[in-house]
């Protein structure tokens, strides 16, 4: 028979990977509703500083958390199967390793899923440069905005915390091209 998945617990497994004692704690804590214990218990998760990062990642892709839904799950962003379930947190730790000081979890492709091949530990600077386009963007390009009052486009870039105005344009395509050239100049990439 399999033992409970909770660290230092040798009781036999009852359901959802936990013993009777831990299962009843989960049910009692959630007002009689049975919830998946992957977020609530196990493996001393709350003592691990990466647990909160893991938990936020799961919440972003859960439709029950409406404030995060439009930017993540609503756009089709999911968490890979390997990082879900009773072993999800352990697999996440094994795949990502320890977080370097000052780094946060980042998806290389903002439209891609949370998975080992699309996630990395990134600096705040890398995070800001990898940020997706806001849904309210008229141009569809970061750093290119329409100035309604002036009836023209403004292109800008942020480098080392400073907003740098690239210029004002009557043509959106010129503003986008200037923004792309500025990315190459300031960031070394297109």
Q: Among residues 105, 106, 186, which one has the least CA distance to residue 143?
A: 186
The answer on 49 and 22 residing in a single domain is no
pTM equals 0.56
Domain that holds residue 175: 144-187
Q: Residue 153 domain-assigned?
A: yes
The answer on 150 and 97 residing in a single domain is no
Q: Residue 155 domain-assigned?
A: yes
Q: What is the pLDDT along the chain (190 residues), one digit of tens a residue?
A: 567 767 677 777 666 666 777 666 665 555 545 444 443 444 455 456 788 888 888 888 877 766 666 777 777 888 999 998 888 888 898 898 888 888 989 888 878 899 999 999 988 877 777 766 666 677 777 788 888 898 999 998 887 778 889 999 999 899 889 988 888 888 776 4
Tally the domains of the chain. 3
Q: What is the DSSP letter of 114?
A: B
The answer on 29 and 91 residing in a single domain is no
The answer on 32 and 87 residing in a single domain is no
Backbone angles phi, psi at 57, to 5 degrees: -60, -45
The answer on 49 and 25 residing in a single domain is no
Q: Residue 104 domain-assigned?
A: yes
The pLDDT value given to residue 43: 47
The answer on 51 and 35 residing in a single domain is no
Q: Residue 137 domain-assigned?
A: no
The pLDDT value given to residue 49: 72
The answer on 85 and 59 residing in a single domain is yes
Q: Residue 93 domain-assigned?
A: yes
The answer on 79 and 109 residing in a single domain is yes
The answer on 114 and 49 residing in a single domain is yes
Q: Residue 101 domain-assigned?
A: yes
The pLDDT value given to residue 176: 87
């Amino acid at each position: 028979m399999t033992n409970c998945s909770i660290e230092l617990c040798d009781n036999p497994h009852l359901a959802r990977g936990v013993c009777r004692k831990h299962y009843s704690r989960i049910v009692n804590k959630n007002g009689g509703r049975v919830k998946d214990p992957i977020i609530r218990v196990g493996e001393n998760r709350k003592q691990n500083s990466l647990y909160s990062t893991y938990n936020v990642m799961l919440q972003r892709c859960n439709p029950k958390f409406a404030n995060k839904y439009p930017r993540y799950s609503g756009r089709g962003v999911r968490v890979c199967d390997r990082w879900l379930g009773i072993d999800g947190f352990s697999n996440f730790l094994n795949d990502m390793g320890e977080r370097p000081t000052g780094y946060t979890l980042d998806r290389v492709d903002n439209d891609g899923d949370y998975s080992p091949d699309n996630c990395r530990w990134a600096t705040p600077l890398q995070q800001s440069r990898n940020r997706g386009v806001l849904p309210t963007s008229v141009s569809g390009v970061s750093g290119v905005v329409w100035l309604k009052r002036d009836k023209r486009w403004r292109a800008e870039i942020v480098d080392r915390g400073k907003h740098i105005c690239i210029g004002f344009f009557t043509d959106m395509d010129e503003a986008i091209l200037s923004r792309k050239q500025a990315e190459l100049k300031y960031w070394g990439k297109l």
